Structure 1
Amino acid sequence: MNLKYIIPILFITLFLTSCSNDDDEALITNEVEGLLQIQEITNSTHTIELFSKSGMFTTGYNTISMRLKDNETDSYIENASLSWMPMMQMPNMQHSCPKSSITKAIGKDTVYKGFIIYQMTNTDGTGWTLNLQYSIDDIDYTASSSIIVNQSDSQNVTSFMGSDQSRYVVALIEPNNPIIGINDLIVGIYKMETMVAFPEVTNYTIALDPRMPGMGNHSSPNNTDLSYNAADHLYHANLSLTMSGYWVLNLKLMNDQDEVLKGEDVTENNDQSSFYLELEF
């Protein structure tokens, strides 16, 4: 072939190859588009990147995305199996918190996803450690780091001892962006079996009575009690918010025998349940 034809072909090939590599890199970057990095946890072989929409851990329900990067090749791992164990160090003990399994994020090649519910933190955010265990091609690895868990502005999680002498953790999951009108209220309920085991609670009921303390403690119409949904293992209800502002979601937890485990009705002589969550918008 004549040289004058070969040279243009080489330039075209190099250009297409360069574009292909750029596209591949952009694809990986875009898999965490819209998320902010919380921090990295590193060992001698891998770097685990942790992401969320807010870019921080807070008390309450946290949806967490993560990627594993090979420190030698700078490539992201697509075939890892992961688990985690958050631990909080108290003065005389340590405990974990409710958490999900970690699975591959839907439609993603390099992103893994799960949730952690931090029920408490220290005033400066310290006290928590996140321990990760993972395997790649049947080789096991571990990584661990201290983390900062910030206190949420409102009470979006509560922990208490029920009348059955079991400790429960209840977390607000939705709505993230409340509206004036009917909102989808979603709550998770977990029972503390051991210091590290917090299984989901099924088939209980939570009575709901939302009130605005700053507006005469008025309620709202068309609310429903929270009931268990077997599809997502969470509790769902209709939450009616008639105006913006500060709302207290007064709650009453009942087991599958309709026995009250925590909480009281709001009456003329009792303006708030001892079991509640908060919303402000």
Structure 2
Amino acid sequence: MKYAIYLLLAICAMVTACTVEKTDYDAEIATDTTEYFDFEEVTTIKKGDYKVTIEALNGTLYKGYNEIHIIIVHAQTDEQIKNADLAFLPILTDANGNKSSCPHEYSLSYDAINGYYQGYSVFTNASSTTSSWDLYIDFAIGNDLNKLVESVTVEEQVNKNLNMTAFTGQDNNQYFIALVAPQSPDVAKNDLVAGIYKFIQPNQPAGDFPDPSQYTYAIVDDHSLLLDPRMPEPSMGNHSSPYNENLTQGNDGLYHGVVNYTMTGNWTLNFIFQDVNGKTIKGTEVPIDFTPGIEGKKSELYIDILF
């Protein structure tokens, strides 16, 4: 009788092991990852004597990090304006009429080589029936000041390799981490790029709307983002990979590291976010044990990946 019980337990263990081992990760990937390289028109607005064109990758604004190009052209002569003082402010309005913004570059500079004003916006919400985005753009050409407002649609980010997260750190500041690259990872060592931003609490009452001093965000400088990638699915046993590199800030203001994906599927980028002195602002270490059949624990700070 005891032998039969032991035999039954052994068979159950073997069946469970086989089920874990044969999890079909290809079936879990429901969407293809499309990599975009071309900047296309999002919208064009005519204001007085000028046409203002906003461009983004794929001609679409997504939740998360977006590089923004703006081109200003004189409507009559088609001459491109290269010396404008250009300000860019995205504003989100919720169902109750509350206004907020997101990490963005307020003052855009002109890229003479490529022929556009360049900036970025990290949209924190997709557009919906209860929330909408407007872009407030001011540009001065000499003494000629022009103000325009344009409603835009922000789409959900279907590429989880470009996910983002927002959180409050132990220093009570509000932070944002947005993945920038790779759009389409390989089963290999990948250059991992992220933007890290902080909301600057206003220190004065609001002036006339939209007062930029109420919606100020800054690039976080000289911090570190410690990286521990894991496959947390029960069938993958919380395994990690070798040869990963923590993210540190580059000359472009973004944070650069290396993530080594050893297979396709569900990955979690576990982070520990530290200041210039090595003090932890957010994040916890994750267990390193191999735990087949048990979902792996995630850091207090993480971003999920799927490719």
| TM-score bucket of the superposed structures, by smaller chain | 0.7 to 0.9
Q: In structure 1, what is the Cα distance between the partners aligned to 2:282 and 2:296?
A: 15
1:201 equivalenced with 2:205 (yes/no): no
Q: 1:59-99: CA deviations, max 9, x gaps? A: 11101112112233444323323121111113363122112
2:186 maps to what in 1?
179
In structure 1, the partner of 2:302 is 276
1:46 maps to which residue? 50
Aligned to 1:102: 108
Return the offset for 1:121: 2.9
Task: Tell me if structure 2 keeps the 8 A contact 1:41–1:145.
Answer: yes
Q: Is 1:62 matched up with 2:66?
A: yes
Post-superposition offset of 1:118: 0.9
Give 1:133 deviation, angstroms: 0.9
The equivalent residue for 1:237 is 257
Partner of 2:143: 138
Residues 126 and 148 in structure 1, CA contact (< 8 A), matched pair in contact too: no
Structure 2 Cα separation of the partners of residues 124 and 74 of structure 1: 37
Structure 1 Cα separation of the partners of residues 165 and 111 of structure 2: 28
Equivalent position SS for 2:305: strand
Q: Which amino acid aligns with 1:263?
A: G
1:263 to 283, 295, 307: 283
TM-score normalised according to structure 1 size: 0.80
Cα RMSD between the aligned structures?
Answer: 2.3
User: Larger relative contact order (C-alpha < 8 A, sep ≥ 6)?
Assistant: 2
Structure 1 gaps of 5+ residues are 1-32
Q: Which residue among 104, 112, 117 is the counterpart of 1:112?
A: 117
Q: Matched residues in 2 for 1:177 and 1:270: separation?
A: 24
List gaps (5 residues or longer) in structure 2: 1-36, 202-213, 290-294
Alignment match, 1:28:
none
Residues of 2 paired with 1:227 and 1:233: CA distance? Answer: 10
Q: Percent identity?
A: 30
Equivalent-residue separation in structure 1 for 2:90 and 2:179 (angstroms): 19
Aligned counterparts of 1:200 and 1:240: Cα–Cα separation in 2: 26
Amino acid at match of 2:248: S
2:230 — aligned with what?
A: 211
**In 2, Cα distance between the equivalents of 1:134 and 1:42?**
13
Q: Are the counterparts in 1 of residues 89 and 135 from structure 2 also a CA contact under 8 Å?
A: yes
TM-score (ref. length: structure 2)? 0.73
Distance 1:240 1:118 in 2: 28
Give, in whole Å, the separation in 1 of the partners of 2:66 and 2:305: 17
